[in-house]
Structure 1
């Protein structure tokens, strides 16, 4: 997974691209950043919502990241690549 990119490095194959997400620091469970597919598909089933683990978009913040090229408050993209 490559954060803040939409393309893979030369010689790598893109599996999917999307948005960098993570759980809230205010929730009890531990979390990590993952790349959420930009075109997710629903798994057929009951359609119940138990709010198991809520994911939130990660936004750029100037100072933590250099602006430019990042834009303060803009969601960060990501890409998942394989070799």
Structure 2
């Protein structure tokens, strides 16, 4: 489990959110409802998972478009040469 904050400049990953621990406050039932916090953190982790998957798909699509553009450009320059 992760305690404290992540200030090392690394990208926030779903595991960081899922494993985050919060300090207990005071005596008894003071502070936030731990179940509510846990549910929220899991929701954030799921959203981060989707965002990371979307980012990976966009990166792959970007690479595919760049390759296609280079191929198209190369084919066009070969046709122009006498």
Q: Normalized against structure 2, the TM-score is what?
A: 0.22
Higher helix share: 2
Greater relative contact order: 1 or 2 (C-alpha under 8 angstroms, separation 6 or more)?
Answer: 1
Normalized per residue, the structure richer in strand is 1
Structure (1 or 2) with the larger CA radius of gyration:
2
TM-score when normalising by structure 1:
0.22
